[in-house]
């Protein structure tokens, strides 16, 4: 009988193609829709290598019992294409923090328990109080609020330290997302491997009793960067402010593919419909808390309070639908539950968008690189000129298509009505 095993040369060629970007996906439907409907962005669609644009759109269909099914559409989504996720890493780290807190319930901890961070190594911060919180102390919940409301990097660093590098990547493995690689605080002063050495953390009761103490920890996690190369730009500005005429190497930075970002959000939003192995370890109240602050505008928060509307406008981190700086979003029927990233010329948004009135819902993720001079670290990028207008137009186009879509069963969206009138 003739062997069905492919020739060795074929296997080598196949493996080589897979490693070099065979994972890239483009859906004919989405490609045609974007190019015919958005001629104002033709130069971006015509230059995918320059702008590194990736888009993932998920159409959601509900059955008679309101159970969702999903169909994905892609525009050059590529698990092997580098982009810098920036603050997108705040979502998996926040979920991991909630999971870890729940693992420590027997110690008397919950997400609102006071969490005091100590300093015992280079580049660690001591945090005994927080005047912006209701209790006057920091907590996992309060840090997550700040991350979700205004993308606060300081809060991310503290939560990342509590979760820890080893625990975090053990979680990513258990989620079936092992390529997520998060080894840095979002703190420019903390170089190289300092993120793998995490601070002592103590949780205390309202009476000041020590409930749980986590010591200074040296991580064992030592996985290499998931991509063979992560270089961007024709030049970059180094840590000393000097321009260097060679690409910036991101191989010591964090990494998430856009598809992994999209999947992390999808599993959170649709927690109540996920199979056991894809369900995060959180309560219904934890879920409501996470979703509420992902969808909230800064002005809607009391603790912490963001009263300066010129700085913390409603669309501060709502890149889809709104795009530019919108001081007040008057619509109370349309919400974007999302996480964003913005650094080194990379602009990203990962979102669940819902219109309660018109019974519209969809998932949308996108990332783009907007540095016309292609100098990484210069601080001069075309976020407002190219990135945000494109995100606004792409999301509104898909929103318009969704409004026209005929559905056999309209979605019941009551579980996402988390805001007062």
Q: Cα Rg for the chain, rounded, in angstroms?
A: 22
Task: Identify the three-state secondary structure at position 298.
Answer: helix
21 phi-psi bin (left φ>0, alpha ψ -120 to 50, beta other): left
Give me the pLDDT at residue 2, please: 36
End-to-end alpha carbon distance in the chain = 72
Give me the pLDDT at residue 19, please: 38
Question: What phi and psi, each to the nearest 5 degrees, are found at residue 98?
Answer: -65, -40
Helix H or strand E segment including 390? helix 388-404
Which one, of 310, 320, 314, lies nearest residue 340 by Cα? 320
- Whole-prediction pTM: 0.93
Return the ∠ at Cα 331 (arms to 326 and 334), rounded to 5°.
100
Antiparallel, parallel or unpaired: β 231-232 and 217-218: unpaired
User: What DSSP character marks residue 178?
Assistant: T
d(C-alpha 363, C-alpha 367), whole Å:
14
d(C-alpha 63, C-alpha 412), whole Å:
10
Give me the pLDDT at residue 421, please: 56
Output the tens digit of pLDDT for each of the chain's 421 residues.
333 334 444 333 333 334 334 478 999 999 999 999 999 999 999 999 999 999 999 999 999 999 999 999 999 999 999 999 999 999 999 999 999 999 999 999 999 999 999 998 888 889 999 999 999 999 999 999 999 999 999 999 999 999 999 999 999 999 999 999 999 988 766 766 688 899 999 999 999 999 999 999 999 999 999 999 999 999 999 989 999 999 999 999 999 999 999 999 999 999 999 998 899 999 999 999 999 999 999 999 999 999 898 999 999 999 999 998 899 998 889 999 999 999 999 999 999 999 999 999 999 999 999 999 999 999 999 999 999 999 999 999 999 999 999 999 999 999 999 997 5
Task: Taking each helix axis as running N to C, give the angle between helix 90-103 and helix 284-295, from 0 to 180 degrees, rounded to the nearest 10.
Answer: 160
Report all structural domains of the chain as residue ranges with CATH numbers, in order of start. Answer: 26-416 (3.40.710.10)
Which one, of 21, 20, 29, lies nearest residue 72 by Cα? 29
């Amino acid at each position: 009988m003739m062997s069905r095993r492919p020739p060795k040369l074929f296997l080598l060629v196949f493996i080589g193609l897979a490693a070099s970007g065979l994972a890239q996906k483009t859906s004919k439907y989405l490609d045609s829709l974007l190019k015919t409907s958005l001629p104002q962005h033709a130069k971006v669609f015509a230059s995918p290598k320059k702008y590194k644009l990736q888009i993932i759109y998920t159409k959601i269909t509900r059955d008679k019992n309101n159970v969702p099914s999903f169909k994905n559409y892609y525009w050059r989504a590529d698990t092997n294409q580098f982009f810098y996720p920036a603050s997108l890493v705040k979502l998996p780290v926040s979920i991991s923090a909630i999971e870890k807190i729940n693992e420590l319930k027997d110690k008397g901890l919950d997400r609102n328990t006071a969490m005091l961070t100590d300093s015992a190594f280079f580049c660690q911060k001591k945090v005994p109080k927080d005047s912006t919180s209701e209790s006057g102390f920091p907590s996992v919940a309060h840090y997550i609020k700040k991350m979700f409301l205004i993308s606060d990097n300081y809060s991310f660093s503290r939560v990342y330290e509590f979760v820890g590098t080893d625990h975090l990547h053990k979680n990513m493995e258990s989620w079936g997302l092992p390529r997520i690689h998060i080894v840095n605080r979002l703190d420019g002063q903390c170089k190289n491997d300092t993120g793998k050495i995490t601070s002592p953390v103590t949780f205390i009761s309202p009476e000041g009793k020590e409930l749980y103490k986590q010591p200074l920890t040296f991580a064992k996690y030592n996985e290499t960067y998931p991509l063979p190369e992560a270089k961007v730009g024709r030049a970059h500005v180094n840590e000393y402010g000097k321009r260097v005429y060679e690409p910036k190497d991101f191989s010591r930075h964090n990494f998430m593919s856009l598809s992994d970002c999209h999947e992390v959000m999808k599993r959170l939003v649709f927690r109540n419909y996920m199979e056991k192995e894809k369900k995060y370890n959180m309560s219904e109240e934890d879920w409501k808390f996470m979703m509420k602050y992902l969808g909230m505008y800064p002005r809607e928060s009391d603790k912490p309070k963001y009263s300066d509307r010129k700085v913390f406008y409603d669309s501060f981190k709502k890149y889809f639908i709104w795009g530019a700086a919108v001081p007040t979003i008057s619509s109370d029927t349309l919400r974007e539950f999302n996480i964003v990233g913005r650094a080194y010329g990379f602009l990203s948004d990962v979102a669940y968008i819902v219109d309660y009135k018109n019974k519209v819902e969809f998932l949308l993720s996108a990332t783009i690189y907007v540095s016309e001079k292609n100098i990484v670290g210069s601080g001069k990028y075309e976020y407002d000129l190219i990135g945000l207008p494109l995100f606004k137009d792409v999301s509104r186009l898909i929103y318009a298509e969704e409004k026209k879509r005929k559905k056999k069963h309209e979605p019941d969206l009551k579980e996402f009505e988390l805001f007062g009138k």
